[in-house]
Amino acid sequence: MKKIILLIVILLSTGCWNYRELNQLAIATGFAIDYVDDKFEVTILISNSQKENSSDSKSVASSAVYKGRGKTIAEAIKDASMAISKQIYLSHIEVLILSSEVATNKTLETIDFFFRYPQTRNEFLMAVANDCKAGDLFEITTPLETYPSQNISKNIGITDKLQAYTYAVTFNDFVKALLEEGINPVIPSIAIIGDVDEGNKDENVEKIKPDSYLKLEMMAAFNKDRFIGFTDKDQSKGINFINNKVTTTLIITDYNDGYVVIELNGSNTKVDIDIENEIPKIKIKVNSSGTIIEVDSHTLIDKEQVIDEIKTLGEEEIKRLITTSIDYAKDNETDIFGFGNMIYKKNYKYWNKIKDSWQNDLFKKSDIEIDIDLKLKTKGSIDSIIEVK
Amino acid sequence: MLEKDINKSINKIKDMNGNSCDIAVHEIILNNTKVAYIFLESTSSDDKISDFLGKSLSVDVRSNTFNNIFKNLKNTIPNSKLKITDSYEEIFYYLSSGFTCLFVDGYSKCIAIETKANLDRSVTESSSEPVLKGPKDSFNENYQTNIGLIRKRIKDKNLYFNEIKVGKRTKTKVSLAYIKDIADEKKVKKLLKKLNDINIDGILDASYLRELIIENEPSILPQIISTERPDSVSMALLNGKIALLVENSPYVLLLPSVLADFFQSPEDAYSKPFNASFTRILRYLAFVIAIMTPGIYIAVMNYNMEVLPNLLLISFAIQKEGVPFPTVVEVLIMIISYEILREADTRKPQVMGASISIVGALILGDAAVAAGIISPIVVIIISLSAVSGMAFTDPDIINAIRTWRILFMLFGCLLGLIGIVMILIIFISKLASLETLETPYLTPLAPLKLKDWKQEILRLPKNKITNRPSYLTKKNTTKLKVEE
Helix (H, G, I), strand (E, B) or coil at A257: coil
| Chain A: residue whose CA lies nearest to B369 | A57
CA distance A264 to A280: 30
Rounded to two decimals, the ipTM of the complex is 0.82
Please check the confidence at residue A59 and state whether its pLDDT lies above 50: no
| Chain A: residue whose CA lies nearest to B330 | A21
Give buried/exposed letters for B116-149 (b at 16+ CB in 10 A, else e): bbeeeeebeebeebebeebbebbbbebbebbbeb
Question: Are B243 and B150 in contact, with CB atoms under 8 Å apart?
Answer: yes
Lowest mean pLDDT among A233-242, B344-353, B423-432, B438-447: B344-353
CA distance B99 to B49: 9
What pLDDT score does B213 carry? Answer: 87
CA distance A54 to B140: 56
Of B145 and B365, the structure prediction assigns the larger pLDDT to: B145
- Residue to mutate among A2, A23, A49, with most B CBs inside 10 A, is A23
What pLDDT score does B456 carry? Answer: 87
Q: Which helix (H) or strand (E) holds A373?
A: strand A367-378
| Chain B: residue whose CA lies nearest to A146 | B311
Distances (CA, A) of A123 to A105, A175, B306, B309: 23, 11, 12, 12
Helix (H, G, I), strand (E, B) or coil at B418: helix
CA distance A81 to A17: 23
Q: Looking at residue B122, what DSSP letter applies?
A: P
Looking at the DSSP assignment, which residues form a beta bridge with residue A272?
A283
What pLDDT score does B66 carry? Answer: 61
**Termini Cα distance of chain A:** 92
Top-confidence range, B61-70, B71-80, B227-236, B357-366: B227-236
Q: Is B54 on the interface with A (CB under 8 A)?
A: no
What pLDDT score does A148 carry? Answer: 80
- How far is B19 from chain A, CA to nearest CA, in Å? 50
Compute the average pLDDT of residues B357-381: 82
Compute the average pLDDT of residues B34-53: 85
Q: Which residues of B touch A18 (CB under 8 A)?
A: 303, 416
What pLDDT score does B62 carry? Answer: 58
Give the residue among A247, A295, A292, A243 at the shortest CA–CA distance from A269. A243
Please check the confidence at residue A58 and state whether its pLDDT lies above 50: no
Q: Which residues of A touch B414 (CB under 8 A)?
A: 11-12, 14, 16
What pLDDT score does A95 carry? Answer: 92
Top-confidence range, A50-64, B69-83, B147-161: B147-161
What pLDDT score does B36 carry? Answer: 86
Pick from B301, B315, B411: CB nearest A11: B411
Whether residue B310 and residue A57 make contact (CB cut-off 8 A), yes or no, is no
What pLDDT score does A57 carry? Answer: 43
Distances (CA, A) of A364 to A319, A330, B3: 18, 5, 127
Chain length of chain B: 484
Q: Which residues of B touch A23 (CB under 8 A)?
A: 317, 320-323
Please check the confidence at residue B178 and state whether its pLDDT lies above 90: yes
Pick from B318, B369, B415: CB nearest A48: B318
Write down the mean pLDDT value for chain B.
87
Compute the average pLDDT of residues B38-62: 77
Compute the average pLDDT of residues B144-150: 92
Alpha helices in B45-183 (DSSP H): 46-49, 55-56, 59-63, 69-76, 88-96, 143-151
Whether residue B314 and residue A150 make contact (CB cut-off 8 A), yes or no, is no
Please check the confidence at residue B408 and state whether its pLDDT lies above 80: yes
CA distance A191 to A193: 6
| pLDDT-derived band at A323, boundaries 50, 70, 90 | very high
A14 phi and psi, to 5 degrees? -80, -20
| Chain B: residue whose CA lies nearest to A3 | B426
- How far is A17 from chain B, CA to nearest CA, in Å? 7
Contacts of B262 (CB under 8 A, 6+ apart): B222, B225, B392, B394, B397
Q: Looking at residue A138, what DSSP letter applies?
A: G
| pLDDT-derived band at B65, boundaries 50, 70, 90 | low
Q: Which 3-state string (H, E, C) describes B173-208?
A: EEEEEEECCCCCHHHHHHHHHHHHHCCCCCCCCHHH
Give the residue among A6, A91, A22, A8 at the shortest CA–CA distance from B298. A22
> What is the widest separation between alpha-carbon atoms in chain A?
94
Contacts of A176 (CB under 8 A, 6+ apart): none
Is the omega angle on the peptide bond into residue B444 within 30 degrees of 0, that is, cis? yes
What pLDDT score does A54 carry? Answer: 46
Please check the confidence at residue A55 and state whether its pLDDT lies above 70: no
Whether residue B413 and residue A16 make contact (CB cut-off 8 A), yes or no, is yes
Task: Please give the single-letter amino acid code of residue A323.
Answer: T
Task: Please give the single-letter amino acid code of residue A84.
Answer: I
Pick from B317, B322, B426: CB nearest A48: B317
Please check the confidence at residue B20 and state whether its pLDDT lies above 50: yes
Give the residue among A385, A388, A389 at the shortest CA–CA distance from A299. A385
Tell how many helices (H) and how many strands (E) occur in chain A: 13, 13
CA distance B127 to B139: 11
If contacts are CB pairs under 8 Å, which of residues 355-384 in chain B contact chain A?
369-370, 376
